[in-house]
Homo-oligomer: A and B are copies of this chain.
Amino acid sequence: MMMNIPLTLSAMVEHAEKYFAKKEIVSRTATGITRLTYGESCKRIRRLGNALTKLGMKQGDRIGTFAWNHHRHLEAYFGIPGMGGVLHTINIRLSPDHISYIINHAKDRALLIDAELLPLIENVKDELTTVEAFIIMTDEDELPETSLKNVYHYEQLLKEADDRFELLTNIDENAPAGMCYTSATTGNPKGVTYTHRAIVLHCMALGLVDGGAISESDVAMPVVPMFHVNAWGIPFAALWFGTKQVLPGPMMTPAVLAELIEKEKVTITAGVPTIWIALLKELETGKYDTSSLRAVLCGGSAAPKGMIKAFEIKHRIPFIHAYGMTETSPLVTLSRLKSYQTDLEDEDRLDVRSKQGYVVPGVDMKVVGPNGEVKWDGKEMGELLLRGNWIADEYFEDERTDEAFRDGWLHTGDVVTVDEEGCIKIVDRTKDLIKSGGEWISSVDLENALMTHDGVFEASVVAIPHDEWQERPIACVVLKDEAKDSVTKEELLDFLKPQFAKWWLPDDLLFMDQIPKTSVGKFLKRALRDQVRELMKTTS
């Protein structure tokens, strides 16, 4: 009937070298800017595939990368899967324990390491049980001093390799091509394996006008690290489509990013809200021409509406909210306006932009609350369930698979509402929800309401067990110094009353000096819950 050609990363390389050989990769490393054409880059990809093969790497072997965003990391993105290996991008920000755990758990046979990140690997070298070769990526001719054994120089390996090495295209499209571990609330990180098929179809979603809309005429700068869900797949898509890419390297300050946007005429960039808050501040200096930007993609966590407004209204830079996770490759939703919404007033448009958006073609969602699938009314809450060809169906050799993957759906653990357009808005995590009498109460909604009170510095709401209602909400509040003597529990509860249904209101409100937080500043709800339950016991 029709040909059935495996969807592979190697076919993408062949396409790029044929049609986009002149297009450019701008790579910022420790020593400065390197410029390569795709023609040159694809030859280096072939050399890398050959070098790894000569080192004894085989089909299916996991090969780790421990690196910033730069051209060598891009070569690994294609060179490793191109010789049949599995690109395992390691998050350099993990704890030493987790770094050694995931390298051993993935059974990485080789590691590609940025010279400046070498100490982090040396630090755990005695724990590593499977790594046979450490390949150092550096601009210097000489290898740095190191306590590691079996060390190779990346450029030296490439020099000795063949640039006509044949990349594997005739493989099962369901074979693994990549791998990334995601942090768990408790215990070790969980591994997600990406297949060739998943990555190629995800790239197509990135290239759809209604998806990422990445094209040959773009200049793409992934600020999101290449060790976070493949920099959201952008380096893959950009090479395939011949998109000029700007890889901003280590220690990217807001000024570095703003300069790259101006000088390289970046049209699309992607990263987490903290980056964009910092960039926004830098742009306020008025020193930069960012008129080339046609889209800022923002994901990882919800972007504050004020920031979206600053980009959209003040700087006239389209700011697109995205939702996804390591388990979803990651693109799931984008806050795109539908054609009949383009005439909305600024405020209404910002409302759409501050939701997470609706699913891109190729992803299927279901939102399930305590009473089954929720109404699309923007109010009823449910857990977001996902299905699609770039959604994982398991964690790599991990018994926690059964929690998240059930009945053919990924259970994201994210609680959302859905409006009548199918746009989701994240309102909580399932584990932070308060389940009261068969209904759900959003801890986040109550917290946000409390934090609008003038006297409140911060607030967190958690569940305590309840005999009749299963769970009931308790609010924990840190008052501003100047409010500590004046604001009472009753005043705050009265403040909430007109805003919520009666059964949503917290059963109690505790004043605290501080709320326990994670290293990145998020509320540590688990610890807070334990603390509150202990407190409630002693006071009751």
Contact = CB atoms under 8 A, between A and B. Distances in A.
Contact of A214 (B19, B209, B214): B209
A64 interface: no
A263 to B, nearest CB: 17
Given A194-B1, A339-B216, A394-B1, A361 B209 contact: no
A195 B1 contact: yes
Given A2-B198, A7-B389, A194-B2, A210 B204 contact: no
A208 B216 contact: no
Contact of A389 (B2, B12, B392): B2
A11 B387 CA distance: 11
A428 interface: no
Interface string A351-374: 000000011011010000000000
Contacts of A453: none
Interface string A28-67: 0000000000000000000000000000000000000000
B5 A240 contact: no
A318 B342 CA distance: 23
A84 interface: no
Contacts of A22: 340
A209 B204 contact: no
Contacts of A215: 208-210
B194 A19 contact: no
Contacts of A7: 389
Contacts of A193: 1-2
Nearest to A376: B18
Contacts of A209: 207-209, 213-215, 217, 241
A197 interface: yes
Contacts of A359: 15, 19
A356 to B, nearest CB: 14
A478 interface: no
Interface in A80-111: none
A15 B388 CA distance: 12
B195 A358 contact: no
A388 B339 contact: no
Instruction: Report which residue of A207, A242, A358 has the largest number of chain B beta carbons within 10 angstroms of its beta carbon.
Output: A207
A81 to B, nearest CB: 13
A491 to B, nearest CB: 44
Interface in A204-232: 204-205, 207-211, 213-217
A421 B3 CA distance: 26
A241 B207 contact: no
A198 B5 CA distance: 10
A465 interface: no
A447 to B, nearest CB: 31
Interface string A1-24: 111110100011011001110110
Which bucket holds chain A's interface residue count? 35 or more
A195 B2 contact: yes
A23 B339 CA distance: 9
Contact of A361 (B3, B205, B207, B339): B207
How many copies of this protein are present in the complex?
2
B5 A388 contact: yes
A273 B55 CA distance: 56
Interface string A329-342: 10000001011101
Contact of A2 (B4, B205, B393): B393
A364 B207 contact: no
A291 interface: no
Nearest to A2: B198
A438 interface: no
Given A209-B207, A210-B215, A1 B393 contact: yes
A233 interface: no
A189 interface: no
Given A209-B214, A210-B216, A358-B19, A391 B2 contact: yes
A174 interface: yes
A5 B389 contact: yes
B4 A389 contact: yes
A176 B358 CA distance: 30
A200 to B, nearest CB: 9
A422 interface: yes
Contacts of A134: none
Interface of A: 1-5, 7, 11-12, 14-15, 18-20, 22-23, 174, 176, 193-195, 197-198, 201, 204-205, 207-211, 213-217, 240-242, 244, 329, 336, 338-340, 342, 358-359, 361-362, 364, 387-394, 408, 410, 421-422
In the A-B complex, the 3 residue pairs with the closest CB atoms: A209-B215, A2-B198, A1-B193
25 contacts: A1-B194, A1-B393, A2-B195, A2-B198, A2-B391, A2-B393, A3-B387, A3-B389, A3-B393, A4-B174, A5-B388, A5-B389, A15-B361, A19-B422, A23-B339, A204-B361, A204-B362, A207-B209, A207-B210, A209-B217, A210-B215, A210-B241, A217-B339, A241-B361, A244-B339
